[in-house]
Amino acid sequence: MHYLDNSATTKVLENSAKKAYEMMTCHFGNPSSVHKLGISALSELKSARISVADLFGTSADRIFFTSCGTESINTAIFGATNKLHKRGKHIISTKVEHSATLKALEKLEGNGFEVTYLTPNRQGIISLDDFKNALREDTIFASVMHVNNEVGTKFDVVAMSKALKAKIPHALFHVDAVQSFAKVPMSEVCSHADFISVSGHKIGAPKGIGALYIKKGVSITPYLYGGGQENGMRSGTESLPLICAFAEACKERKNNLDKNNKYVEGLYDYLVNTALETFENSSLNGENTIPYIANISFNGLKSEVMLRILQDCDVYVSAGSACSKGKKSYVLSAMNVPHNLIDSALRISLCPENTKEDIDAFINAVKIGHDRLLTLK
Ligand code: PLP
């Protein structure tokens, strides 16, 4: 199998899966229980929080576990705007955010908030000047992704947060770092953002676990009420197997960050150079991208058909984000990519466990599709 759809989700790392099993069968106590089993579960929870915080480059008390990236994003967006709504109703975001952000903002628009959605340029970049020009006296919140999930473009969230704070010191800034976590160092983002959302299943942990970083001194209304877990921010008995499996993945990714990034950069260069040299109808979408995501259009070859041909060759990529379920990419549309290149775009997303053989298999499968579809014309 040649799995190149790691931005949709990743295979669980072996140590991460083992840890989940160990937590389910040995340390299965409730961390709120006062007996020995509870105490050992609590101790596992504490060390897991430290490991996740380490990958952020922050302290453990700033990390709140959630069930996924979507929950983290919703907690930040609704928590921040609920806190600040009396000081203004204007929000800044972009047209290329994940639907977790866009749908939450849409809900706020229905409740009287006004959102300015910034448009990327043809290369997928959101301009800092556009961000600055969108700032208003009544801006209370901004939410911008660190890395785009379809194209891999990296946005200058640190500069945007600085610009927001310089004009409106009380406004809050959220970063969706679901696609950059464990790939791009996060400590500088932690020093400038008020909230950072991440998700376990994008970095080799199981599905069902995420985290929200909240800056020291920033308080928001919780999303879930109950037993007061997660320092009152997110009630509900902690999912120790998932939390500890996530922590295991964070440890492994942190220990190998530079090595992994260098390795994936090599794979990316090989992929992009080979694809562009081999197929004259191919073109790369986006600039300033991280090496984990390549969005390539194969003009004339419809992505849905190519996905099926690739699947027959045991090669798995996607045509856009997993959540878009085959709809036309709103990200590439916002970038003003021509329709024929949107219809023929494939997202190839890498992880450190991929090999050169996976890339070769992808190129060979595209050749098969290319020959089959173009000879039909
Ligand atoms: N934000 C981005 C950029 C994503 O790519 C995703 C998932 O694809 C999410 C948020 C949602 O994360 P989750 O699937 O953990 O809810």
Q: Tens digit of pLDDT for each residue in 77-116?
A: 999 999 999 999 999 999 999 999 999 999 999 999 999 9
Question: Do residues 295 and 349 touch, judged by C-beta distance below 8 A?
Answer: no
Cα separation, 138 vs 90, in Å, equals 6
In degrees and rounded to multiples of 5, residue 119 shows phi and psi of: -100, 135
Number of neighbours of residue 228 by Cβ within 10 angstroms: 12
Active site residue 244: no
Q: State the distance from the centre of ligand 1 to the C-alpha of 27, rounded, in angstroms.
A: 29
Residue with tokens 């099993």: 21
The token pair at 43 is: 């101790």
Which position among 26, 68, 250, 323 bears the catalytic label? 323
SS3 category, 102: helix
The per-residue pLDDT for 309 is: 96
The per-residue pLDDT for 322 is: 53
The per-residue pLDDT for 366 is: 97
Low-confidence ranges of the chain (pLDDT < 70): 320-326, 375-377
Pairing of strands 139-145, 114-118: unpaired
SS3 category, 25: helix
The per-residue pLDDT for 374 is: 74
Provide the CA 21 distance to its chain's centre, in angstroms: 26
What pTM, to 2 d.p., does this model score? 0.97
Atom of ligand 1 nearest to the CA of 68: 15
Buried b (16+ CB within 10 A) or exposed e, 339-356: eebbbbbbbbbbbbebee
What residues are in contact with ligand 1 under a 6 Å CB criterion?
Answer: 68-70, 98, 100, 145, 149, 176, 178-179, 199, 201, 210, 321-322
Q: State the distance from the centre of ligand 1 to the C-alpha of 129, rounded, in angstroms.
A: 27
Question: Do residues 123 and 288 touch, judged by C-beta distance below 8 A?
Answer: yes
Question: Do residues 122 and 336 touch, judged by C-beta distance below 8 A?
Answer: yes
- Residue 145 belongs to what H/E stretch? strand 139-145
